[in-house]
Chains A and B, each alone.
Chain A
Amino acid sequence: MVEVREIYNVHHEMPLGILIANYFYFTGLSAGSFILSTLAYGFGMQKYKPISKSAIILATLLLLVAPINLVVDLEQPFRFYHLFIYFNFTSPITYGSFLLTIYPVCCIVYAYFMFKENLKWAKICGLIGIPLALLVHGYTGFIMALGKARILWNTALMPTIFLVSAMVSGLALMILVVLIMSIFKVDQRNKLKELALDLGKLLVFTIIVDLALMGCDIVILLTSHHDAYHAAMLILKGSFAPLFLGVEIILGSIIPLILLLVPYSRKSLISHAVASVLVMIGIFTMRFVMVVGGQSLPLS
């Protein structure tokens, strides 16, 4: 093999950083929480009713905070209104600027009817909100997937991976909410404990789907073209391997799965709390590895 050395080249600064990863994380949490809140008010599954109100409040707050990351990340933050007066309908960001406006409004209206116990309108708003929640997070997957230059991003699986990981992080957040609620609501403790265990089962299911999708993505990267192989190697052996394999896969998926599946710990609330925290760290790492790792591959 001929030895090749780079004598001179220009590497421009990485355009998108941790703020964007943070934004993806927040919208993911928001979309996950929203969908969980509609289980009771949209689909009539009464056992999930105790989390609905906390879920919708969290979904709204997270989605109000999330776009701040985006505006701060702009080089010209005071020109953010350009997004609403000049459109490019081939750019996912244009869709995002409208979704990020409509979705919080829908959240607030839905929450209003929920707190008024107006079940009919809460159901309607909840059901309208589900596609919005999916789109608001799904489009961030498209932001990645259409950033064609970055091999790690440019896969058709990306929107799906983002949606599933959004559900994973939303479920973990809701388990933590239920556990905190059970500390303060002593009279409902048994009911809340059952709910936490129930959400734990959903969490196991979504983590497995998430791992399966990640596995598919990596197998295709490894066997696809030359650049894709290098992208896979970056997260399997290269500088992002400790974050991807260590934190995202082992700490954020495998250990929570063990905690939630092994007979010794699967009924314990403490193991649910630990698993949820680990999962949330794991999903944040996933966003970080995708955004920053994807851009750390050289282009020229």
Chain B
Amino acid sequence: MKDKKNKVRYGMVIDLRKCMGCNTCSVSCKVENDVPPGVFRSWVKVVEKGTYPNVRRSFLPILCNNCENPICLQNCPVNATWQREDGIVIVDPHRCIGCKYCIASCPYNVRHINPIMKIVQKCTFCHHRVDAGLQPACVESCPPGARIFGDLNDPDSEISKLLAENATQVLKPEMGTDPRVFYIAADKDAMDPFAVNS
């Protein structure tokens, strides 16, 4: 990890022991960020496995990981994608030319073209809310409180305590992106895009 010890670094933990797949996060994200129909910044992937009576339904809420080393930032030709000091990755709506190379480079499928504005958009941890001292919309609205958002560099924050006390996973660690969305008790078959076999 880069040396940013004294600075705020935002991240999210999603505790899948609590997630019930209600999609409140998907809806509140759409409402908060005016996300047009057909595209999503945050959604819940649902996977069902096994045969009756030995079955399980697993949920995997997906959103931008706001990576420490984002490939989209490396590949954006006009620097429209940039990273704030607190680690949140943002697309400049006035600079984006819509070349879509960032969408092609993102390993998490979380970037989309806004069909109305004709630029690329993505989850920004609701940076406008964070700047106002609020929690991101999905965190605020999650009924079982499965999403915890906060400063990863503050050892007393709830998120740091959760990360210290639990076994956590990130999506596609092999990409070297250092994701900042962590999952507790994520299902391997939900995390693997090629696991679907029927």
A268: Cβ under 8 A from any B Cβ: no
A109: Cβ under 8 A from any B Cβ: no
Q: Are B175 and A148 in contact (CB under 8 A)?
A: yes
B85: Cβ under 8 A from any A Cβ: no
B104 neighbours in A (Cβ, 8 Å) = 15-16, 147, 149-150, 295
Q: Are B100 and A16 in contact (CB under 8 A)?
A: yes
B105 neighbours in A (Cβ, 8 Å) = 146-149
The total of Cβ contacts below 8 Å across the A-B interface reads 163
Q: A149-B71, A299-B107 are in contact. Are A7 and B48 (CB under 8 A)?
A: yes
Q: Shortest Cβ distance from B33 into chain A, in angstroms? A: 15
Instruction: Please choose the segment from B6-14, B109-117, B135-143, B147-155 that sits at the chain A interface, where 4 or more of its residues have CB less than 8 A away.
Output: B109-117
- Interface mask (A6-33 → B, CB under 8 Å = 1, otherwise 0): 1111111101100000000000000000
Q: Are B119 and A12 in contact (CB under 8 A)?
A: no
Q: Shortest Cβ distance from B123 into chain A, in angstroms? A: 12
Q: A7-B57, A12-B111 are in contact. Are A76 and B78 (CB under 8 A)?
A: no
How many chain B residues have a CB neighbour from A under 8 Å?
A: 52
Q: A148-B105, A149-B71 are in contact. Are A75 and B77 (CB under 8 A)?
A: no
B43: Cβ under 8 A from any A Cβ: yes
A271 to B138 alpha-carbon distance, docked (Å) = 64
Q: Shortest Cβ distance from B117 into chain A, in angstroms? A: 9
Q: Are B49 and A82 in contact (CB under 8 A)?
A: no
Q: Are B76 and A2 in contact (CB under 8 A)?
A: no
A5 to B55 alpha-carbon distance, docked (Å) = 11
Q: Shortest Cβ distance from B53 into chain A, in angstroms? A: 13
A15 neighbours in B (Cβ, 8 Å) = 100-101, 103-104, 113
Q: Are A97 and B77 in contact (CB under 8 A)?
A: yes
Interface range for A:
35 or more
List CB contacts (< 8 Å) of B61-91 with chain A. 62, 71, 74-80
A265: Cβ under 8 A from any B Cβ: no
A7 to B50 alpha-carbon distance, docked (Å) = 13
B134: Cβ under 8 A from any A Cβ: no
Instruction: Please choose the segment from B125-133, B157-165, B189-197 that sits at the chain A interface, where 4 or more of its residues have CB less than 8 A away.
Output: B189-197
Interface set of A (CB-CB < 8 Å, partner B): 1-13, 15-16, 70, 73-76, 79-80, 82-83, 86-88, 90-94, 96-97, 143, 146-150, 225-227, 230, 295, 297-300
Given contacts A16-B104, A297-B193, 14 further A-B contacts (CB under 8 A): A6-B46, A6-B48, A7-B48, A8-B44, A9-B43, A79-B98, A80-B97, A82-B78, A90-B74, A91-B74, A91-B75, A93-B75, A93-B101, A230-B194
The 30 listed contacts between A and B (C-beta, < 8 Å) are: A4-B47, A4-B197, A6-B45, A7-B47, A7-B48, A8-B45, A10-B43, A10-B109, A12-B40, A12-B109, A15-B103, A73-B99, A88-B75, A88-B78, A90-B74, A93-B101, A94-B77, A147-B75, A147-B101, A147-B105, A148-B107, A149-B71, A149-B104, A149-B105, A149-B106, A227-B193, A230-B194, A299-B106, A300-B62, A300-B109
